[in-house]
A and B are shown apart, each in its own frame.
Chain A
Amino acid sequence: MVLVSFIYGYIAKEEVFGPQTLILEEGAKGDWVYVVLEGKVKVRKRTPKGMVTIDTLGEGAIVGEIPFLLKTHKLRTASVIADGVVKLGILDKERLEKEYELLSPQLKSIIKTLVLRLEETTKKASLLAVS
C-alpha cells in the first residue's frame, strides 16, 4: 500500500515502537486511529486456544479504526504488535470525528455495519484458524 499525502495533514503525532512492542491491546480502552508510516505491525486476536496472528499490515495501513467507527464501545478488538521497528502516525481524532459527524445518518449506519461485519468475520476467521 502507498501512503497518500493527505494523510499527513491528519497526523497529530508520530511515535516509534521497538520490535515486539504491544502497541494496542485487545480489550483495552481506546479509539484513537493510527496509520503505519514505516515498518510493519502484526494484528493478533485472542482465541480459547491462544493468540493467533490474523494479519500483517504495512505502510499506509490504518490501525485501530474499528472502535472509532463502531462508537458503541471504545474497546480494542485486536492486539497490534510491532513487527520490527515501526513508526506510527496518530490521527487527529477531533478533526476525524468532525468530518464523520457530517455524514448522513444512513451512510454512517452503512459504515458502522461494514465495521461490525469486519469484526465478526475476523473473529470467525481467528477461531477457524486454531480449530
Chain B
Amino acid sequence: MAEKKKIPPVVHLSYSKGELIIKEGDYGISIYKILHGHVQIFKKSGTNKIPLATLGRGEVFGEMTFFNFLLEPRSASVEAIDDVEIEVWHPAMLTEEYKNMPPILRYISKQALDRLLRMNRIVDDLSSKKRQKKQKEINHREAKRKYYRKKWDQEFSYKPMGSSPELKLSGMIRDISPKGLGVEVAASNVINFPHNPGDKFEVNIQFPSGKTICVVAQIKSVKKSKTPGSLFLGLEFTDIDRDANKQITFFMMS
C-alpha cells in the first residue's frame, strides 16, 4: 500500500475587493483554496458579466484545469468580492499524486469527471435551446405586432368624454390597429385636461377615403414622446361600432 504522501508546497496570497484572481481564457495552472473571504465566479458575454457562483471559506476553485491536465484555458473568471486570503497549490505534485493514486480511486474520479463534463454539455445544450426558443417567441410576437399595427401619420381630433361639444383637442396618430391607436399629443393638452391611464376620450379619425369614424378610446399608457413637448399615448378602443371597425380593417389592408 502507498505510503502517506508528502504535502505539496503551498503559497498564501491576499486579494482585496474587486481584484481579479483568475481571468477567463488565460492558461493558468494553479489551484486555489479560500481561507478567508468570498469570491465570485463569472463568465463574460460581450460586456455583460454572468455570475456563475459565489464561493466562500474552505471552497476550492481552478480545479477544472487540473482535471483537464492543463489542456484547456480557464473557463471562467474569478474576482474577490471582499478581502480574500487564498492558499495556492501548484499542481505539479498533485498531478503526480493523482496519477499514482490507487487505481480504484482514479477509476472513480475519472468517471465523476466524465459525468461532470457530460452534464456541463447537457446544461449548455439545454440553455442554448431555451435561449433560442425564447428568441423565437420574441420574434414571433414582434412579427405579430407588425402585422396588427400599421404605421400612420395622420392628424386627428379628440375630447374628453362628456366635455362640451365645442371642445376639440388635436394630435397625431402614429400607428393604428383594430384594438387601438398610438398617438402623439401636445403636452399643453395635458396641462388643461387630465390624460391619465383609464381616462376615456371621444376620438374622431378621418381615413384617406374621406370617411370619418367616431369611437371611444381609453388611455392605456402615457410615455414621453421623441417629439419635444409631446406625449405618446397608447389608446384602446372601448366603444366601437361595426362600421368603424370595418373602416379600420379596410384601411389596415390597404
> Taking beta carbons and an 8 Å cutoff, which residues of A are in contact with B?
4, 6-7, 10, 33, 54-55, 61-62, 65-66, 69, 91, 96, 98-100, 102-107, 109-115, 117-118, 121-122, 124-125, 128-129, 131
CB distance A99 to B105 under 8 Å? yes
Given contacts A113-B63, A125-B122, A128-B123, contact A106 B94 (CB under 8 A): yes
Given contacts A69-B112, A118-B112, A118-B116, contact A100 B130 (CB under 8 A): no
**Top 9 closest A-B pairs, CB basis?**
A128-B126, A121-B119, A113-B60, A118-B116, A99-B102, A125-B122, A104-B5, A62-B111, A110-B63
CB distance B107 to A4 under 8 Å? yes
A115 to B59, CA, bound (A): 13
Please classify how large the interface on chain B is, using the bins under 10, 10 to 19, 20 to 34, 35 or more. 35 or more
CB distance B101 to A107 under 8 Å? yes
Q: Counting CB contacts under 8 A, is B109 at the interface?
A: yes
Contact mask for chain B residues 1-22; partner A; CB cutoff 8 A; 1 contact, 0 none: 1111111101000000000000
CB distance A125 to B31 under 8 Å? no
A121 to B116, CA, bound (A): 7
Q: Which residues of A contact B7 (CB under 8 A)?
A: 104-106
CB distance B5 to A122 under 8 Å? no
A117 contact from B1, B104, B116, Cβ within 8 A: B116
